[in-house]
Amino acid sequence: MTFLKNTWYVACRTNEIEGKPLGRKICNESMVIFRGANNEVSALEDFCPHRGAPLSLGFARGGNLVCGYHGLEVGTDGRCAKMVGQRVGGFPTVKRYPAVERYGFIWVWPGDAEQADPAAIPHYEWGVSDEWAYDGGMYHVKCDYRLMIDNLMDLTHETYVHSTSIGQDEIEEAPPETTVDGHTVITSRHMKNIKAPPFWASALRANGLDGDVPCDRWQICRFTPPSHVMIDVGVAHAGKGGFDAAPEHKAGSIVVDFITPETETSIWYFWGMARNFRPQDTELTDMIRKGQGGIFAEDQEMLESQQRNLSTWPERQLLKLNIDSGGVQSRKILDRLIQEELANKAERK
């Protein structure tokens, strides 16, 4: 499998590199992520040119990364800076990966560093506005990253995998609609005059609304390359406008999904939920994070079991139904972009 590399991926949450470097594989590239001079983030290949030890087993000092094996110091530019009693100026430079800190995450560019443009990182209002609250977590999931995209672009599975929290029969009964706008795929579902499932009934009550009256529910999934899925979800009291209802009649959120390939069959899955009602309520934020974390743990079990099956029977072809359209279209865009990237790379040689 070939990954799209000339793009930005979420590598870690900022708190993962507090006080120590972090080793992480992204698109089969082994990286060490750390804070250098002025607390700025840097990412290098996780390989000490002296004896091949992982630099992530070392520590930061004076703006450099110190190898934990023999003390070779490497600068944020990848140049070998110094080593006690040794001359290291002629050592090969360690590969550097562009890295940017934004929205509480560290983003890395695993491809051609000269093409990296921080302006290409999408703008997320929930990540910069005090009118929004956000929290989430990270799971290491042993599956093809495209399986997670499929999962998030087709929420029919909620009826079965998440039957006690956000699932209900009306989801599979409501036909999804999928559209493609450039490199963005949008799959929408709207359910009218239904009972709110447990998770959303609690969200309504948390927003000072009755959670036991008939509601209109929406799920609007948006895929953008390389592997980001933002999902507008929520419920409003029936007849108040659904997704377009005034704030005093609904509880809505954005499910945030950053899917970062580790290898062909494993991912770093950064999940969370952003909401613009009662953003200062930290207890509500914590309650939502815990509930959402349990829901995504159910996805993990299913996806890893699915991957084991697909690895056992690689010759089997996956079937496609209308509910799969969001994932199918997302894969088509990825395939096209990857082929374009490979073609451009071949032309430059």
Model pLDDT for residues 110-167, shown as the tens digit of each residue: 999 999 999 999 999 999 999 999 999 999 999 999 999 999 999 988 888 887 888 8
Q: What angle do CA 141, 142, 143 make, to 5 degrees?
A: 100
Confidence of residue 346 (pLDDT cuts 50, 70, 90): confident
pLDDT tens-digit map of 34-58: 999 889 999 999 999 999 999 999 9
Among residues 64, 90, 120, which one ends one of the domains? 120
Which residue, chain included where needed, has tokens 């990954």?
A: 3
- Whether the CB-CB separation of 11 and 24 falls below 8 Å is answered with yes
How many other C-beta atoms are found inside a 10 Å radius of the C-beta of residue 49? 17
**273 lies in the same domain as 144:** yes
Q: How far is CA 324 from CA 153, 210, 318, 327, in A?
A: 8, 34, 10, 6
**Does residue 346 lie in a domain region?**
no
Confidence of residue 81 (pLDDT cuts 50, 70, 90): confident
Tokens linked to 189 = 């579902």
Identify the helix (H) or strand (E) that includes residue 175: none
Tokens linked to 125 = 């209002």
- Can you tell me the distance from the alpha carbon of 4 to that of 334, in angstroms, rounded to the nearest whole number? 7
- Can you tell me the distance from the alpha carbon of 201 to that of 194, in angstroms, rounded to the nearest whole number? 11
Q: What is the CA radius of gyration of the chain?
A: 22
**147 lies in the same domain as 211:** yes
pLDDT tens-digit map of 192-218: 999 999 989 999 998 999 999 999 999
**Does residue 348 lie in a domain region?**
no
Confidence check: pLDDT of 31 > 90? yes
Confidence check: pLDDT of 310 > 90? yes
User: For the chain, what is the domain count?
Assistant: 2
**Does residue 4 lie in a domain region?**
no
Residue 251, pLDDT score: 94
Query: Residue 51: which CATH number?
Result: 2.102.10.10
**136 lies in the same domain as 112:** no
Residue 216, pLDDT score: 97
**Does residue 2 lie in a domain region?**
no
Among residues 120, 151, 166, which one ends one of the domains? 120
**Does residue 347 lie in a domain region?**
no
| Mean pLDDT computed over every residue of the chain | 94
**223 lies in the same domain as 102:** no
In DSSP notation, 211-224 reads SSS-EEEEEEEEEE
**50 lies in the same domain as 110:** yes
pLDDT tens-digit map of 85-94: 888 788 899 9
Residue 167, pLDDT score: 83
- Span 327-347, average pLDDT: 94
- Span 217-226, average pLDDT: 97
Tokens linked to 324 = 């799969």
3-class state of residue 271 by DSSP: strand
Long-range CB contacts for residues 65-69, cutoff 8 Å, separation at least 24: 65/21, 65/32, 65/34, 65/36
Confidence of residue 299 (pLDDT cuts 50, 70, 90): very high
Confidence check: pLDDT of 171 > 90? no
**Does residue 96 lie in a domain region?**
yes
Phi, psi of 159 (to 5 degrees): -60, -30
Phi-psi region of 81 (alpha: psi -120 to 50; beta: other; left: phi over 0): alpha
**231 lies in the same domain as 146:** yes
Domain, as residue range, for 73: 9-120
**Does residue 167 lie in a domain region?**
yes
**221 lies in the same domain as 268:** yes
- As beta bridge partners, residue 189 has 219
Confidence of residue 17 (pLDDT cuts 50, 70, 90): very high
Among residues 75, 95, 120, which one ends one of the domains? 120
**89 lies in the same domain as 213:** no
Could you tell me what percent of the chain has a pLDDT over 90? 80
**176 lies in the same domain as 44:** no
Residue 108, pLDDT score: 98
**67 lies in the same domain as 216:** no
**112 lies in the same domain as 146:** no
**Does residue 345 lie in a domain region?**
no
**91 lies in the same domain as 161:** no
- As beta bridge partners, residue 34 has 42
How many other C-beta atoms are found inside a 10 Å radius of the C-beta of residue 29? 19
- Whether the CB-CB separation of 194 and 214 falls below 8 Å is answered with yes
Omega into 226 within 30° of 0, i.e. cis? Answer: yes
